[in-house]
Structure 1
Amino acid sequence: MPLAAPPTPPPPPHTGGLLALIPGTGGLLTVAALGIVLLLVLIIKVRLQPFVALLAVSIAVGLGAGLSVTELFGTVQKSDAVSLIETGMGGILGHVAIIIGLGTMLGAILEVSGGAEVLSSRLLNLFGEKRAPLAMGLTGLIFGIPVFFDVGIFVLAPIVYAAAKRSGKSILLYCMPLLAGLSMTHAFLPPHPGPVAAAGLLKVDLGWVILMGILVGIPSVLAAWVYASWIGKRLFVAVPQDMVEAAEEAKAAVAAEQAAAGRRSLGSPMPQARGEAPVPLSTVLLIIGTPLVLILAATFSSIALDPSTLRSVIEFFGHPFVALTLALLLAYYLLGIRRGWSRKSLERVSTSSLKPVGNILLVVGAGGVFGAVLKGSGVAQALSDTFNDVGLPVIVLAWLISVVLRVAQGSATVAIVTTAGIVLPLVEGGHHSQAFLALIIMAISAGSIFASHVNDGGFWIVAKYFGISVRDTLKSWTVLETVLSVAGFAVAAALSLVV
């Protein structure tokens, strides 16, 4: 009986590619280091669009680590050959794009219907003049869940102007708590791009991300509010009169436009312009809370319930795609159709809200490509082995890497997707719980908001909209973001010791 043929040995790992003179792990680490430096140079010095920069660096790292052109791009001769670029881009966007798209449309309906103004005015009335800064902070915290950070500023800035003008105190006392709330939700909670993208890359259930985002985010924002109160009493910044006038002109223009649209029977996407009653606060809270509750219920049903019809139903309605779709349909009906909006108005608001999302999705997709190239080329494993030898806990490394990338190039999204790609091999195969991986995401997200300064677009939005000088913005906003980041990391690290 003939002897069985010996098994075919696995292909040798890439050992440095274009840097083959540096053997093994050393060559791969050199490729990784040069890739990060190239990414920062392209974004900071060359001012290349982050999507293009990430894609170019992914290709350069792949070739430098020894990947073939076929492995990177596939081949036109074989239609079934899938490239690393395709799998990296498609793998992450298949999960992230739907969530970000649905969340963006939901936020737009809440914004245009006047939900933010109702929320802030109710909270201001509830807490009174003396606690108006707390009311603004809670407004940012709640309204920031479904809307992007910059949109929250655009919508809520006039309310901050009004509160600061009535009191005669520094505008920092009112805008800083608001900004802390908006920044916390943007960094730590879905459906915002950062935590959703990291969850997609690390394969973490969004329910765990929401739960850990709440547990980490609440103490962090409380710490940021303490600093906001302190700096608001010590640094006086007057209400920017030019921005107040611009806000009033914009409001008048919108009202006139909507009145004209109503006369053309297109429906009004701002019911208040036609003298209708404000949106009930309970409706706003119902719409914002519905997807969060459904997703959390689905997550914990898999722990608390045995397989059954009930569990299947809960998991169906709690799937992020279904939960966000239901919340959006609720918003369409409760904030739109029931209040006299036409279908054309709903379609117009939804479509226009998606225009800014394209850039975000491309950056997230390019981050997926970067992660796939790191893994496919062997660079990720080399990084994993090296970081393991350093001896620092992975949650500390995740935060530090994210901090360095954030401070160097300014974009929180780029910092998150790049860090997640680097950290992925450190946790793969480690049999970590979903709760622990969600805390890794919290650490990455916390690092991505560290020390916002002049290379961050958010820095200039804050300075412009609230009339703060560059020096005072560094003293207030930059430090506020640092407090939020450090507190978030500290809470995440502490929780990681017990989950």
Structure 2
Amino acid sequence: MALASFFSDPLFILLIGIIIVVGGIIGLRLHAFLALLIAAFAVALLTPASAVETFALTKGVSNEAALQMSHWHVGKRIAIAFGETCGKIGILIAMAAIIGKCMLESGAAEKIIRSLIKWTGMKNAPISFLGGSFFLGIPVFFDTVFYLMIPLAKAMANKMGKNYLLLVLAITAGAAMANSLVPPTPGPLFLISEMNIPIGMMMLGGILVGLFTISTGYMYAVWANRKWPIPLRDSVDAPLKDIKALSLKSDDHLPSLWFSTLPVLIPLIFITVKAVIDTFMNIENPENILLALVNFFGEKNTALICGALSALILLVLQKKEDKTAMGKAVQTALMSGGVIILITAAGGAFGGMLQQTGISARIGELTQGYQMAIIPLAFFIAMVVRTAQGSATVAMITASGILAGMSATMDLGYHQLYVGLAIACGSKIFPWMNDSGFWIVCKMSNLTEKELLKTFSPMLTIMGVTGLIVILIAAQLWPLV
């Protein structure tokens, strides 16, 4: 009985999952899709029905539905988790792949980069990528920011002749920190409602802490770029010969700047306006045509589709002489995007199966009654949950749920804002193969898993720890109570 209990322990199941994924990809050279799918099956098979039932109940389903779910075949559970992830990112990745391909082929990315160099200078380009991705990441999801900026990073790296890794890390550093620290993204929104933190206070605190964290992240990125310089690689969706050919064109043969920025600006503006209205204005008037248009076009899938359409129009106008240009671009983009969708969805299925083991609750049990200051404890819980099951949002939800009651009934001596910020920073610690964002960065940047594990993952960890240190100091100096 004790042995059966050990094998069904979420921590043991997590260990098995880690061994299969890391061993399969790095040791056996398995394709990431297969390794993640095999790991998802192993985790699902080891998870007892009672754990699946408990997980379903925490999601708010009825007792009958939870019992029914616990008896589903493992294949069905994996397929549903796979489908849910695919539903969240499938259209986004496909449209982003089309936008990226069209921006590179039409010369739009080249035009934006030339303009950026004029404004900031070649030397400051990576810093502008860092700051831009942070502020874009406030209203827009991390993955969307990355999709839209990666073609610019490729064009810029070609122009500079170096620093491709630095540009990729600059984009991910800014967007990742904003995604967890600053509302209105889902993690921070849930956190502030659970812990009764005013949204304006969380936004200001998140931006201030974020500026410290992305600064240290950037310093690490500069060091990593020197230690492990990674060249811009040839790929199906962004052939080096095409990027280099466009870089030699005169400005007269490139599209105008305003037209070049439309594929990026259209989705960003639509999503941002909807986020601002939903977060701050709370307007509910079904007869308001303007509001109806904002709600329709501000939905992320619709916004990216609009961006892709503008990118296709741009490509057609720039390549009038080539009637097959649009068809070839879309086919190439969807071929590369399809592989990314499969790998990312498999990563989501693996993470979903880990969540069904009850790993979050198990970590909550281990940390209950642990005699530690609340801020480091909040950071620690979010860190362990994130590393265990892959989702920063789930880590924030779990940690805030565990700590909300504790921090509300104790005299902390400082505002709960600092606990919330500590949870946000803890949710950034060491992303790896169970995180769908890891695979998006890996496959769209053409970096290998090993390269990402020694650059991207440590950088986010350093930023998270920096955030904790800043929060501890700020809580002492400005308790806000």
Shorter-chain TM-score: what band?
0.5 to 0.7
Alignment of 1:204-215 (within 5 A): none
Equivalences for residues 118-197 of structure 1 within 5 A: 118-128=111-121, 132-139=122-129, 145-147=145-147, 154-161=154-161, 177-184=166-173, 187=176
Distance in 1 between residues matched to 2:16 and 2:354, nearest whole Å: 15
Matched residue type, 1:74: W
Q: Does residue 313 of structure 1 match 2:293?
A: yes
Which residue is 1:282 aligned to?
Answer: 258
Contact 1:399 1:444 in 2 (8 A): yes
How far did 1:97 drift? Answer: 1.8
Inter-partner Cα distance in structure 1 for 2:95 and 2:422: 25
2:107 is the counterpart of 1:114: yes
Q: Work out the CA distance in 2 between the residues paired with 1:251 and 1:315.
A: 37
Secondary structure of residue in 2 paired with 1:295: helix
Q: Deviations over 1:251-305 (max 9, x none)?
A: 895499x9xxxxxxxxxxx698799622333333343232222212112212314
Letter in 2 for 1:400: M
Match of 2:275 among 289, 293, 299: 299
Residue of 23, 39, 60 corresponding to 1:45: 23
User: Equivalent residue of 2:124, what SS?
Assistant: helix
Alpha carbons 2:36, 2:346 under 8 Å: kept? yes
The equivalent of 1:221 in structure 2 is 214
Shift in Å, 1:99: 2.1
Cα 1:395–1:149 shift into 2, 3 Å: farther
Structure 2 residue identity aligned to 1:110? M
Amino acid in structure 2 at the alignment position of 1:300: V
Match for residue 397 of structure 1 among 369, 380, 405: 380
Distance in 1 of aligned mates of 2:345 and 2:171: 24
Larger Rg: 1
Taking structure 2 as the reference length, what is the TM-score of the superposition? 0.61
Q: Which amino acid aligns with 2:427?
A: I
Alpha-carbon distance change, 32 to 361 in structure 1, aligned in 2, over 3 angstroms = farther
| Distance 1:175-1:322 versus aligned 2 partners, 3 A rule | closer
Residues paired across the two proteins, number: 403
Label 1:478 to 1:314 Cα distance change in 2 as closer, same or farther (>3 A).
closer
Aligned-pair distance for 1:320?
A: 0.8
Partner SS, residue 254 of structure 2: coil
Report the CA distance shift for 1:184/1:426 in structure 2 as closer, same or farther (over 3 A).
closer
Q: How much does 1:449 deviate? A: 8.0
Distance in 1 separating the partners of 2:98 and 2:233:
29
Deviation at 1:38, TM superposition (A): 1.0
Question: Is the contact between residue 51 and residue 366 of structure 1 (CA under 8 Å) also seen in structure 2?
Answer: yes
Asked if 2 retains the 8 angstrom alpha-carbon contact of 1:291 and 1:324, the reply is yes
2:97 corresponds to 1:104 = yes
Matches within 5 A, 1:444-455: 444-445=427-428, 447-448=430-431
In structure 1, list runs of 5 or more residues that go unmatched: 1-17, 77-81, 162-170, 259-269, 406-414, 465-469
Residues in 2 aligned to 1:313 and 1:402: alpha-carbon distance in whole angstroms: 39
Q: What amino acid maps onto 1:290 in structure 2?
A: I
Match of 1:416 in 2: 390
CA contact (8 A) 1:317 1:323 kept: yes
Tell me how far apart the structure 1 counterparts of residues 124 and 276 of structure 2 sit (CA, whole Å).
32
The separation in 1 between residues aligned to 2:276 and 2:103, in whole angstroms, is 28
Amino acid at match of 1:306: I
Per the alignment, residue 341 of structure 2 pairs with 361
Amino acid at match of 1:277: H
What is the aligned-residue RMSD (CA, Å)? 5.6
- 1 CA distance for matches of 2:263 and 2:471? 28
Residue 140 (structure 1) shift: 6.8
Output the CA distance in 1 between the equivalents of 2:303 and 2:421: 20
For 1:91 and 1:437, the matched residues in 2 are separated by 28
State how far apart, in whole Å, the 1-side matches of 2:471 and 2:98 are: 30
Task: Report the alpha carbon displacement of residue 319 of structure 1 after superposing the two structures with TM.
Answer: 1.0
Secondary structure of the 1:74 match is coil
Conserved 8 A contact 2:49-2:70: no
Does 1:60 pair with 2:60? no
**Structure 2 contact 85–348 (Cα < 8 Å) conserved:** yes
Q: Distance in 2 between matches of 1:341 and 1:185?
A: 40
The residue aligned with 1:325 is 305
- SS of the residue corresponding to residue 448 of structure 1 reads coil
TM-score using structure 1 length:
0.60
Q: Deviations over 1:99-135 (max 9, x none)?
A: 222223222222332333323322323344xxx3212
- 2:363–2:385 contact (8 Å) kept in structure 1: no
Distance 1:486 1:377, change over 3 A: closer
Q: Is the 8 A contact 2:428 2:461 kept in 1?
A: no
Counterpart residue number, 1:5: none
In the alignment, the residues of structure 2 paired with residue 278 and residue 41 of structure 1 have an alpha-carbon distance, to the nearest angstrom, of 49
Q: 1:73 to 1:35 in 2, by over 3 A?
A: same
Aligned-pair identity in percent equals 15
1:94 equivalent in alignment to 2:83? no
Contact 2:170/2:221 (8 A) holds in 1: no
Aligned partners of 2:459, 2:73: CA distance in 1, in Å?
50
Alpha carbons of structure 1 residues 367 and 246: separation in structure 2 relative to 1, 3 Å:
closer
